Amino acid sequence: MYVCICNAVTEDDVNGCMASGCRTAKEVKAACGFKPACGTCTKRIHTMVSEYRTASELADALTGGPADLTAVPDQGPEPIVAETAETLEGGAASQTAA
């Protein structure tokens, strides 16, 4: 759905700007390339930013804060160890004998 018809900006555009770091309506307008027009979209953008920030703060509160985005080192695939019935029976027998 369009948030701003004058600048052809959709809700997805605004959500994308907020996901990429915009935290205020002014930052969203700058990131979306808004040009001055009628201004009827301003209230909707303020509402969207407020809802996004509230949701982010709630998620942070539930998860213990924002997650640090760190790269996970590539350790390669885990080796696959096949256990057969003989291995399991032999292991159980050796454990009971000891």
Q: For residue 41, how many other CB atoms are within 10 A of its CB?
A: 22
pTM over 0.85: no
Average pLDDT, the chain: 80
Higher per-residue pLDDT: 75 or 56:
56
User: Is the pLDDT at 15 greater than 70, yes or no?
Assistant: yes
SS3 3: strand
User: Is the pLDDT at 64 greater than 60, yes or no?
Assistant: yes
Residue 67 has a pLDDT of: 60
Higher per-residue pLDDT: 97 or 75:
75
Q: Copy the structure tokens of residue 96.
A: 């009971």
Count Cα atoms within 13 angstroms, Cβ side, for 90.
Answer: 5
